[in-house]
Amino acid sequence: MTRFAVVGVGAQAAALARIAPRLRGGSITAVVEPDKATAKRVAELLKVSVWATSTGELHEKHDREFDAWAAAMPLGLVLAPHGNRPFDMNPGNGKDWLWAHAFRFLPSVTTVKESLGSGKLGAPGLVRIHHWTPQAARQSLLSQLDLACWLIDQRPATLFARQAKGYVQVHLGFADDRMAVLDCATLAEGDEHYSLSVIGSSGAAYADDHHNMQLVFGGGHPQAIRTLQGDKALLAALQEFIDATAARRSPSCGFAELKRALRLDEHVEASLTSGEAVSLSGGES
Amino acid sequence: MKNPPERYRCAALSVVKHDYVPRGVASHPRFELVVVADDANQPAWVHERNQKFADEYKVPYVRDVERALSEHNVQVAVVSSQVERHCDLSIRAIERGVHVVQDKPMSTTVAECDRLLAAIERKPVKFLMWNRNFLPAVLHARELINAGSIGKPYAIHVDFYFAKDAGPPKGSRPPAAKPMDWQEHQIKAHADGSDGGLAARPMGELQIEGIYPLAYIRMLTGASVRRVFARTARHFHQVNVDNDVDDLGTVSLEMDGGLMGTLCIGRIGKASHPDIGEIKLHVLGERGGLVISEARPEAAIYYRGQPPAEYRHRRLAVDNDYLQLDNLLAALEGGGETILDARGSRDICATVEAALTSARTGRCETVQ
């Protein structure tokens, strides 16, 4: 049984409470929140008795009551074994991390990946992603860079990026003339828009929020409101970590993938600064 | 224009490719097809197609372009020949003071486009490049942008995937098979209308279809493309591999006024979409964003025994042909230019040329 200590997950507490009973071979046993009142509230919501206001305090007082971390970080949720603290970002400890950014485990995205993996779509030629969100565009970009590499199953060889305030577009070139085009934008407050297309040599997949909109009529023009994919992504991420731990294998999206995305982001910055395309020598990111 | 004619007399100069262009012109009540013409030295299959079209419209077919233009008092020439002859036929009409409606692309070389521009400078006539800018969804996008719904646009993206085949899939023929001849393939492709690249010299998808999405961008933003970064691939079709021309391309665009964008385009194969393809516009502005499906409005029809080749979704209320000709009329009789004139078409050709260069060099390229 993998027992999770959840750190700084206040915004996701309700979702975690819903999925906790569905975890196979895992449970949530401890909460860390910097604010005492929040820590108590989240612990109550998750029906756990152990809470602390710092990871140090948790180590000190409840070190044997959890086996793994599930920490909300700026780059997404990171799951790690007890001894490998994700907040330290120490590469030496990153081997068994799971970088659980939502898009890797979103049902729409995993459906596309499964179709690719089964060979139904043939060789991927183009990955096209649009992500518009109330959050910072560059924050989303890390996840999308990871997805592009994951779906193409390669590291890029060239990269060209442009940006404006609250906006970035990245053009990736891979070996065998494969390509990816990403645009991430910060929208005004409100819902987000996500569209993923993968064009393969014998088929294509479209996971496009445009198709997931429902109309609400209330006078004037109707509102278009997304039907969301529920808690499936979060459940799948935690379950993947539990299963990987039990099978003594590396999780599906770990520190190597995070490092790759971070280095690609550095190349994005280089392209933005120079205004030119960047060659990633030897396909290394 | 003082005393405009009741109907403009039109000549179809070669109808070997997209006959929907002269058909579109002829369907407008202010335009009348009076003759089909072509050069006498064209091959038999060209004459055969021209004659068939002339017979259908009950007009003469004349194997002498200049004689047809002169003897039939032609005012508008409609050019839908092999691609390498587009500009030449148009220029010959322009030099006689005849206005031109031309099939796309303008040309595969900027030099030819510049030659046509020079002809128009010497003999100012109106030029309309056939386009899709008057599709309902594209007009709707323009209306929303012009109304300020999203504020001033700063980025525009067009994903333009045609779900059509182009002969056998890549890698499906025996290694020892003779490379597929481009023109031979295009001549056969006329049967299902996928002969947009009909030319002696092979052309990739950016050259064949790129003008459509680039024309959307131009109309919706009013901006010219200044610099590009592109990648291309021969990913789907053997004929593209054998002739070393792209069937998949992606282009990052830098435009006037700091506007940015992308174009993703491909002839992705019939299996890759239930209808003609996925064509979407994404526009970002200072106050919001637009997501537009180019195919709307549409209706869906399904029935038992439906042939696989029949499209399930049918576009509705498409007035693109009529509105283009109305636009031409406005230019002819009121002054001003058409929605996609010679200068705009030439700039689009230059954008495509720069993109192909970028794909070869791996560097950003300036649009000439």
Q: What is the pLDDT of residues B34-92, one digit of tens each?
A: 999 999 999 999 999 999 999 999 999 999 999 999 999 999 999 999 999 999 999 99
Tens digit of each residue's pLDDT (9 = 90 or more) over B281-339: 999 999 999 999 999 999 999 999 999 888 899 999 999 999 999 999 999 999 999 99
Q: B364 and A276 in contact by Cβ < 8 A?
A: yes
Q: Which of A123, A167, A277 sits opposite B229 (nearest CB)?
A: A277
Judge whether A141 and A265 are in contact, CB under 8 Å. Answer: yes
DSSP codes of every residue in A176-211: GG-EEEEEEEEPSSS--EEEEEEEESS-EEEEEGGG
The residue written with tokens 């008795």 in the block is: A49
Both structure tokens of A208: 């496009």
Closest by CA position to A258, among listed A135, A75, A74? A75
pTM of the model: 0.95
Q: Where residue B200 falls among pLDDT bands split at 50, 70, 90?
A: confident
Q: Which of A126, A188, A203 sits opposite B250 (nearest CB)?
A: A126
What are the percentages of helix, strand and coil residues in chain B, rounded to 5? 35, 25, 40
Q: Is the dihedral of CA A35, A36, A42, A48 positive or negative?
A: positive
| Residue in chain A lying closest to B261 (CA) | A169
Outline where DSSP puts E strands in B65-200.
Answer: 76-80, 99-102, 127-129, 153-162
Q: What is the pLDDT of residue A91?
A: 55
Q: B262 and A183 in contact by Cβ < 8 A?
A: yes
Judge whether B342 and B137 are in contact, CB under 8 Å. Answer: no
Going from the C-alpha of B80 to that of each of A116, B18, B340, the distances in angstroms are 40, 6, 16
Edge-first strand listing for the sheet containing B127-129? B61-62, B31-37, B8-15, B76-80, B99-102, B127-129
The residue written with tokens 């197609």 in the block is: B49
Judge whether B284 and B272 are in contact, CB under 8 Å. Answer: no
Closest by CA position to B157, among listed B303, B46, B259, B22? B259
Q: Where residue A95 falls among pLDDT bands split at 50, 70, 90?
A: confident
CA distance B133 to chain A (A): 22
Whether residue A123 lies within 8 A of chain B, CB to CB, comes out as yes
Is the pLDDT reported for residue A282 higher than 60?
A: no
CA distance B276 to chain A (A): 13
Best of A194, A195, A196, A199 to substitute, by most chain B Cβ atoms within 10 angstroms, is A199
Whether residue A175 lies within 8 A of chain B, CB to CB, comes out as no
Ramachandran region, residue B154 (left: φ > 0; alpha: ψ -120 to 50; beta: rest): alpha
- Quote ipTM for the complex: 0.94
Q: How many CB atoms lie within 10 A of CB B111?
A: 10
Mean pLDDT over residues B208-227, rounded?
97
Closest by CA position to A267, among listed A139, A181, A172, A151? A172
The residue written with tokens 């993923």 in the block is: A196
